[in-house]
Structure 1
Amino acid sequence: MYDYLIVGSGLYGAMFAYEAKKRGKKCLVIDKRNHIGGNIYCENIEGINVHKYGAHIFHTSDKKIWDYINTFAEFNNYINSPVAIYKDELYNLPFNMNTFSKLWGIKTPAEAKKIIADQIADLNITEPKNLEEQALSLVGKDVYQKLIKGYTEKQWERDCKDLPAFIIKRLPLRFTFDNNYFNDRYQGIPIGGYTKIIEKMLDGIDVLTDTDYFEWIKDSNNAASIKKTLFTGPIDQFYNYCYGVLEYRSVRFETEVLDTDNYQGNAVVNYTDREVPYTRIIEHKHFEFGKQPKTVISREYSSEWKLGDEPYYTINDDKNNSLFAKYRELADKEENVIFGGRLGNYKYYDMDKVIAAVFEAIAKEFGE
Structure 2
Amino acid sequence: MKLAYSNQTYSGLISQISETYKSGQKKALQAVNSTLVETYWKIGQHIVAFELKGADRATYGNKLIETLAKDLSIKHGKGFSRSNLNYMRLLYTYYPIYQTVSGKLGWSHYVELLSIGNPLERQFYEKKSIQENWSIRELKRQKSASLYLRLATSKDKQAMLKSIEQEKRAFRPEDIVRDSYVLDFLKIPESHHYTETELEQRIIDNLQQFLLELGKGFAFIGRQYRISLGNRHYYVDLVFYHRILKCFVLIDLKKEEAGYQDIGQMNMYLGYFEIEENTEGDSPPIGIVLAKDKHEMSIKYATHNISSQLFVSKYQLYLPDEEELRCIVDAQLNDPIITT
- Category of TM-score, reference length = shorter chain: under 0.3
Larger Rg, first or second structure (1 or 2): 2
Give the structure with the higher percent strand.
Answer: 1
Which one scores higher on RCO, CA 8 angstroms, separation ≥ 6?
1
Compute the TM-score of the two structures, normalised by the length of structure 1: 0.21
More helix by share: 2
Alignment TM-score, normalising by the size of structure 2: 0.22
